[in-house]
Structure 1
Amino acid sequence: MTVPRTGTPSRGLLIGGREVPALSGRTTDDVDPVTGEVYLTVPAAGPEDVARVVDAAHAAFAEWAATPPSTRRALLERAADLMEARSGEFTDIMIQETGGTRTWAAFNIRMSADLIRQAAGMATRPVGSVLASDVPGEWSMAVREPAGVVAAFVPWNGPLILCTRAIAVALATGNPVVVRPSEDAPVTSGYFLADVLADAGVPAGVVNVLTNDRTDAPAVVEALIADPRVRRVNFTGSTPVGRIVGRLAGEHLKPVILELGGKNPIVVLDDADPVYAASGIAVAKFMNSGQICLSVDRVIVQNGVADAFVEAFLAKVRTVGQGAAEGEHTLVGPMINARAAERVAGLVADAVAKGATVLYGGGPAEGSFYPATVLTDVTPDMRVHTEEVFGPVATVYRVETEDEAVTLANDTEYGLSSAVYTENGGRGLAVARRLRHGNVHINDHSVADEPQAPVGGVKDSGFGHFGSDWGAEFFTETRWITLADRHRAYPV
């Protein structure tokens, strides 16, 4: 049950620079995961509202696409400055809306500002090339032009980073966007960035925000993807929902980027520094309570270093800050809601009932909190072996050989991110090339990220890449244009 606060604030659908209610007048609640109070109310849009928001984005398309590239670049750079200046504001909102910790909020601001600045540079990059031609006196050119309205579906877990990644390059290359933020975080995964961009001077209608109640999500998503004026779709979230988005995009012939779930492994080879590996893996597992798509789930350790690693890892886990999100050093704070915490508790209970050993933590959930937990003796019949945890539970596997480690790391339908720890760089590179994951890091953790890098998965973790240097082609149409500077002799 949710409890409204006295004087609960509200937002409207952001359409063409104005906030308006849903046509139905319905609203939905944005709930504080710790207190259960309603933090904010937002419109519960239906399919009938989708046309209005796409109308606004499409109306802004021609002018935004024609805006001088240097102007688009300057506006985005100003937005990055404003974002950094509002770090404290964002942190307060994130704590109340998602239970995200101060550490995680600071990373969201820092990474998002870097993403915007990196994307800003795309506005003034070359947009085509001169091609060789066999026709005398003809100039042949491949030219990239903005594609049109972009529909961006953004999750709650890394809200500002993932919203920025979904729209920054689209904006830099001249496209308007419709952001459909998470029902669990409409401000931090939608409105906050839209407000920053508007205050930086991005024209009305270029960035629009469409919110809905969870029960209406399927109809709203389908209507948005089906609108013929929407020319690009990107989605970050779970694999089951990603399959639906991909199917809809395919039906309507819309190019789509999907960044989906992961069952991310980190391999600790027998020549690794166990203490160094333990430090990196503790961050990769417990940052934001393990609620990052790149979080490590499976720690695969060769027996030669396993005892030393487990000792070092447990020592690190004991020092991980746990508790209130406001804590300066908290890594494991509240999860997004009590349902998520109960689900993680269920994974642990299933594993223990089937023979897993709890090395640290475990037990039932307490509201939206679940403690940092380490399991070993995990077997394939346990849910935690195959399901994405998306919570603060690490599973440690012991293997004898390097080949066993690689086989186990690849034994999953997912392929998002992985890492290898070793003191031999050549050996690490050889193992990395055998791992079937979109991102592989040697002597760094699976959550490692940079704004210019091609972030994306393989297998059931999706396809396509986010990243400033990799997204420009996705958000543009390539056209072939020729110009003859003399008359040709036609056969008729």
Structure 2
Amino acid sequence: MVITRELLIEGKEIGAQSGRTTPVINPSTGQKYATVAASGVEDVNRAVDAAQAAFEDWAKTDPYTRREIFAKAADLMEQRREHIVDLMVGEVGATRLWASFNVTLAAEMLRETAALITAPLGEVLTTQRDGDLSLVVREPVGVVAAFSPWNAPVILGTRAVAAALAAGNTVVLKPSEVAPLSAGLLIGELLSDAGLPAGVLNVLTNDPADAPDIAEALIASPAVRAVNFTGSTNIGRIIGAHAARHLKPALLELGGKNAVIVLDDADIDYAVDAAAFAAFMNSGQICMSADRILVHESLADEFTAKFAAKVAALPSGTDPSAVIGPLVNTDNDQRCGLYAAQRIAALVADAVAKGAAVLVGGEVEDAVHPATVLTGVPAHADLHGAEAFGPVCVVDTFATDDEAVARANDTDQGLTAGIITENGTHGLRVARRLRTGIVHINDQSVADDPQAPFGGFKSSGYGRFGGRWGIEAFSNTRWITLATQHASYPF
């Protein structure tokens, strides 16, 4: 049965003014999974108007009421786990393990956000004049435009709106055309059922062909005062340029060319397990996925043999219990995973043609590209610099810490990294030299805690989600003074 959904504006499901719709395709089968409303610029205006109308009341809603809404939404998220898992499996071909993890982390994000609502958000400053009180306060900015991606739809759809709403803003959310249900409409439905007032969160779905116009109109709207986007670096540059043109702050969490570094004092078996998880969780379709495994030359032979054997044994296929599942395509109108698998295959073929060797995998199997490990990828191969965003990684070796750091930093992106070592001091010395927003010592590159600052460096974006940093990102910092005695003036 094909699901049919409309836009969420002012607490109601309504069709696009044009009456147009667009399909949602299951990447495993290439078949239609859902039909959603295809909004136009006129619908953007309706959504922004609804958010603007709801702003004043929501901004002055007491923090305890807001906290209760987020706590209830977290409970509802967990109570509806199986429904949400089924939704992700059908919409983006997710494995059940990955979909269930989305539910767990998204619920944790909602609870962390609930706690932050009643946390202190101001400061008292010292002053130069006796009797003056000098305050720093944080206030909501107004309407926030949010863009959520498809690869971790429930996690990143929740993250796109949670801090902004908690800070007292209203939001217009535009989820990815690939996952409009689980990255957008689901989040709106959960929060509405938890008691979020009508108009505070509005969700726009759209046809892929209309995405540039929708995004530009949303950011340009005078009522929109801040923007957040999670997605590819290429699209992030466009979103950032639109925001800059209108002098609106933007929080951009973009792609990564991440490395896991296995130092000479690492436990090899642990390193193998960590690297396999980093490279192949969600078939490598995570911004934090490890494209590169850098191994000290003294461990290289043993590590590579064990790593190749583990990767070769990873179950793959369209069954939701598989580790390596169908890929999601975002470039072709048919949006079937077959095209994404062929994109990965092209990167592998180019690397091999230029001198790389395939240790495991490499053959396309319909929409499922098997877990693939390469070695000897030269600098002029496309895979050397491109974010793979699929089940492929490169194993390389190094002789010194200096060499490992240089190779890990040899990218225009700087999101995250992992360092595998049994010596924390050694790991910390290396970590301090990496040019990334995140680094995990004696762990791999894929990790996310709701209370921690999350974001990248260089072309991986700027600004931070998570914890108090997320609240600050969607707040206006104001300086307010109170003079308790009359001042004297020179004229």
TM-score (norm 2): 0.96
Q: Distance in 1 between matches of 2:468 and 2:476?
A: 16
The answer as to 2:261 corresponding to 1:267 is: yes
Letter in 1 for 2:115: G
The answer as to 2:59 corresponding to 1:60 is: no
Q: Distance in 2 between matches of 1:318 and 1:259?
A: 32
Instruction: Give the 3-state SS of the residue equivalent to 2:5 in structure 1.
Output: coil
Q: Give the drift of 1:449.
A: 1.6
| CA displacement 1:212-245 (0-9 Å, x = unmatched) | 1111111110000001111110001111110111
Between stretches 177-186 and 309-318, larger displacement belongs to 309-318
Letter in 2 for 1:199: D
| CA displacement 1:239-277 (0-9 Å, x = unmatched) | 111011111100111111111111101111122111100
Q: Distance in 2 between matches of 1:221 and 1:325?
A: 35
Q: Once the two structures are aligned, what percentage of the paired residues are identical?
A: 56
Letter in 1 for 2:380: D
> Which residue in the other structure is 1:371 paired with?
370
Query: Contact 1:100–1:325 (CA<8 Å) still a contact in 2?
Result: no
The answer as to 2:247 corresponding to 1:253 is: yes
Query: Contact 1:115–1:164 (CA<8 Å) still a contact in 2?
Result: yes
> Which residue in the other structure is 2:346 paired with?
346
Residues paired across the two proteins, number: 483
> Which residue in the other structure is 2:155 paired with?
161
Letter in 2 for 1:470: W
Q: Distance in 1 between matches of 2:482 and 2:403?
A: 59
Q: Distance in 2 between matches of 1:453 and 1:129?
A: 21
Between stretches 440-449 and 7-16, larger displacement belongs to 7-16
Q: Give the drift of 1:435.
A: 0.9
TM-score (norm 1): 0.96
Aligned match for 1:323, one of 309, 317, 323: 317
Q: Distance in 2 between matches of 1:289 and 1:72?
A: 37
Q: Give the drift of 1:461.
A: 0.6
Query: Contact 1:129–1:141 (CA<8 Å) still a contact in 2?
Result: yes
Task: Write the mapping of 1:379-390 to structure 2, written as runs, cut at 5 A.
Answer: 379-390=378-389
> Which residue in the other structure is 1:286 paired with?
280
Q: Give the drift of 1:490.
A: 5.1
> Which residue in the other structure is 1:333 paired with?
325
Q: Distance in 1 between matches of 2:353 and 2:178?
A: 32
Aligned match for 1:185, one of 168, 172, 179: 179
Instruction: Give the 3-state SS of the residue equivalent to 2:453 in structure 1.
Output: coil
> Which residue in the other structure is 2:170 paired with?
176
Q: Distance in 1 between matches of 2:2 and 2:415?
A: 39
Structure 2's unaligned 5+ residue stretches are 329-336
Q: Distance in 2 between matches of 1:129 and 1:400?
A: 49
| CA displacement 1:36-56 (0-9 Å, x = unmatched) | 211111111111211100001
> Which residue in the other structure is 1:308 paired with?
302
Q: Distance in 2 between matches of 1:468 and 1:331?
A: 31
Instruction: Give the 3-state SS of the residue equivalent to 1:473 in structure 2.
Output: helix
Between stretches 467-476 and 220-229, larger displacement belongs to 467-476
Instruction: Give the 3-state SS of the residue equivalent to 1:335 in structure 2.
Output: coil
> Which residue in the other structure is 1:4 paired with?
none
Instruction: Give the 3-state SS of the residue equivalent to 2:293 in structure 1.
Output: strand
Instruction: Give the 3-state SS of the residue equivalent to 1:42 in structure 2.
Output: strand
Instruction: Give the 3-state SS of the residue equivalent to 2:151 in structure 1.
Output: coil
Q: Give the drift of 1:318.
A: 2.8
Q: Distance in 2 between matches of 1:294 and 1:47?
A: 33
Between stretches 250-259 and 34-43, larger displacement belongs to 34-43
Between stretches 124-133 and 47-56, larger displacement belongs to 124-133
> Which residue in the other structure is 2:12 paired with?
18
Letter in 1 for 2:267: D
The answer as to 2:433 corresponding to 1:439 is: no
Q: Distance in 1 between matches of 2:320 and 2:452?
A: 31
Q: Distance in 1 between matches of 2:174 and 2:17?
A: 17
Q: Give the drift of 1:93.
A: 0.6
Instruction: Give the 3-state SS of the residue equivalent to 1:142 in structure 2.
Output: strand
Q: Give the drift of 1:107.
A: 0.9
Instruction: Give the 3-state SS of the residue equivalent to 1:10 in structure 2.
Output: strand
| CA displacement 1:170-209 (0-9 Å, x = unmatched) | 1111111111000000011111111111111111111110
Q: Give the drift of 1:485.
A: 3.4
Root-mean-square deviation (CA), in Å? 1.3
Q: Distance in 1 between matches of 2:392 and 2:131?
A: 66
| CA displacement 1:96-131 (0-9 Å, x = unmatched) | 100111110111011111111111111111232222
The answer as to 2:404 corresponding to 1:412 is: no
Q: Give the drift of 1:132.
A: 2.0
Q: Give the drift of 1:422.
A: 1.4
> Which residue in the other structure is 1:355 paired with?
355
| CA displacement 1:388-418 (0-9 Å, x = unmatched) | 0000011111222221111111111111111
Q: Give the drift of 1:324.
A: 2.6
Q: Give the drift of 1:483.
A: 2.4
Q: Distance in 1 between matches of 2:472 and 2:427?
A: 32
Structure 1's unaligned 5+ residue stretches are 1-6
